[in-house]
Chains A and B, each alone.
Chain A
Amino acid sequence: MIPEALHISNGVLNGPVSIAYAVLAAVAIGVCVVNGRRDLEDRLVPMAGLVAAFIFAVQMLNFPVLPGVSGHLLGGALAAILVGPWVGALCVTIVITAQALFFADGGITALGPNITNMGLVSTAVAFGVTVVLLRVLPRTPAGLSISVFVAAVVSVVVASQSFVLQYALGGSTELTGGGLAGVAATMAGTHLLIGVGEGLISAATVATVARVRPDLVYALRGLKTGVAA
């Protein structure tokens, strides 16, 4: 069994793939910095800091998923929905870098792949899913909660499969065909369970914030909704 394995450690991926993902992550962060600066008006600075702190704190809580397997939340969905995809990606990137430098969680040479999975893929997927669902579902508090929940579940599973893709491209050890499929299935299964936990917490948080301070929820901007009622 592979417990929560998204903070990839050193030596899991080979050199070329690690470097390619580091370049990809650096370029994407550059784009986020440029676009995020536009979003970062006065109100969003403390919000971004708090979202980062919240995700940082939440990532330290490990909860049992299956016997012997524990997972923690990723927070990508929460970040993307509350502060938008650009600043959200920056928040998660900071948390992952901080985990690696403050706690040695996640290898330094695997920062590129880690940031890609959790910072970029999960926030982008979560934001995309939320935007689509918010337009499709009824604009009620329940509709918002369901959108956030689904977005969180999907984002976590997609992020875990992004790791499987990285491993298929450049895992340091060649696996038998069945081995890789096994890793993919195990990752999808455990992360589906982690995703449910993530979805519940994200939905509860966003629903409360939307009820009291709808102005703070980025994903609701520009939507005429009854969510705030």
Chain B
Amino acid sequence: MLYREGATPIHRLAPEVKIAATVAITVAMVATPREAFWAFGVYALLVVALAATARIPGPWLVKRSLVETPFVLLALLMPFVGAGERIEWLGLHLSVEGLYGGFNLLVKGTLGVLVSLILAATTTTRDIIVGLDRLRCPHVLTQIATFMLRYLDVLTGEARRMHIARLARGDDPRFLWQVRGFATGVGALFLRAFERGERVYLAMLSRGYTGTLFPQSPGAGVAQWATAATVPLVTAAIAVTATIVT
């Protein structure tokens, strides 16, 4: 996935601490009134500091934050479809409400994506599920999520084998022409993957699997929680100040 190997202080934090901090930081940022431009500047500095601490290069962050593009386009649309008072700018009639709205969407969306990316870059997917488990996420959910991660490999493996089998039999799947093959193959892929997955599951059961994958470990101590709480606390303080000032 997006995990980047590393041994920075952020990498070393327990996953449940990082998930809780990510959620808290995002909530505080989103709750900040949109008129408080300075607050978003400070948040941006905080995010840069976090990324630097985790040794995540800027270009990587920029490239990965492209998932947000649809909402950037929505943000650019806002000044044109927003309600209320309008101003004239370069011959365009723009809605003031829409301009604020577009800024709001752009800045909160971007900051949110960057914070989530820092979590994803410093925590393995398995650790994220362990963290959710320790945060008392219902067991059924973490169990299905664990199987999902295992079966992703099974699925891609089967897909690769089926693709090679088709090539070996003289098929030449290219962009549009492979749609038909894909449609007929997708059901077969699902069944093959399921039957492999079922064998894996039965093998796990016969080796004593009872539904708990993660041995009960103590999790993060007070010190870790205290360290990780600093950034959310700063963010919350800025959000509160911004709300009072504006």
Place the interface of chain A in its size category: 35 or more
> What separation, in Å, do the CA atoms of A156 and B114 have in the docked complex?
29
> What separation, in Å, do the CA atoms of A163 and B2 have in the docked complex?
28
> What separation, in Å, do the CA atoms of A187 and B23 have in the docked complex?
29
Chain B, range 13-47, C-beta contacts under 8 Å to A: 19, 22-23, 26-27, 29-31, 34
In the complex, the answer to whether B117 meets A173 with C-beta atoms within 8 Å is no
Q: A173 with B112: in contact, given A36-B140, A53-B148 (CB under 8 Å)? A: no
Q: Mostly helix, strand, loop or mixed at chain A's interface?
A: helix
In the complex, the answer to whether A102 meets B104 with C-beta atoms within 8 Å is no
In the complex, the answer to whether B27 meets A101 with C-beta atoms within 8 Å is no
In the complex, the answer to whether A5 meets B74 with C-beta atoms within 8 Å is yes
Most chain B CB within a 10 A radius of its CB, from A46, A176, A207: A46
- Whether, in the assembled complex, A3 has its beta carbon less than 8 Å from a beta carbon of chain B, the answer is yes
- Whether, in the assembled complex, A185 has its beta carbon less than 8 Å from a beta carbon of chain B, the answer is no
Chain B contact residue count (CB 8 A cutoff): 78
> What separation, in Å, do the CA atoms of A46 and B25 have in the docked complex?
35
> What separation, in Å, do the CA atoms of A4 and B70 have in the docked complex?
7
Chain B, range 163-199, C-beta contacts under 8 Å to A: 183-184, 186-188, 190-191, 193-194, 197-198
- Whether, in the assembled complex, A179 has its beta carbon less than 8 Å from a beta carbon of chain B, the answer is yes
Cβ–Cβ < 8 Å partners of A4 in chain B:
70
The residue of chain A having its C-beta at the shortest distance from the C-beta of B187 within the complex is A208
In the complex, the answer to whether A90 meets B144 with C-beta atoms within 8 Å is yes
The residue of chain A having its C-beta at the shortest distance from the C-beta of B26 within the complex is A108
- Closest Cβ of chain B: how far from A174's Cβ, in Å? 4
Cβ–Cβ < 8 Å partners of A209 in chain B:
187, 190-191, 194
> What separation, in Å, do the CA atoms of A54 and B155 have in the docked complex?
7
- Whether, in the assembled complex, A201 has its beta carbon less than 8 Å from a beta carbon of chain B, the answer is yes
Chain A, range 175-205, C-beta contacts under 8 Å to B: 175-176, 178-179, 182-183, 200-201, 204-205
In the complex, the answer to whether B82 meets A57 with C-beta atoms within 8 Å is no
- Closest Cβ of chain B: how far from A85's Cβ, in Å? 15
> What separation, in Å, do the CA atoms of A94 and B137 have in the docked complex?
11
In the complex, the answer to whether B187 meets A204 with C-beta atoms within 8 Å is yes
Known contacts A91-B148, A109-B27; 17 additional CB pairs below 8 A are: A2-B70, A3-B70, A9-B71, A10-B113, A11-B105, A42-B205, A49-B151, A52-B148, A53-B193, A90-B141, A97-B145, A101-B119, A101-B128, A107-B109, A173-B100, A205-B187, A213-B191
Binding site for B on A (CB under 8 A): 1-5, 7, 9-12, 15, 18, 29-30, 33, 36-37, 40, 42-43, 45-50, 52-54, 56-57, 87, 90-91, 93-95, 97-98, 100-105, 107-109, 172-176, 178-179, 182-183, 200-201, 204-209, 212-213, 216
5 contacts between A and B (CB under 8 A): A9-B109, A11-B105, A98-B128, A183-B81, A208-B186
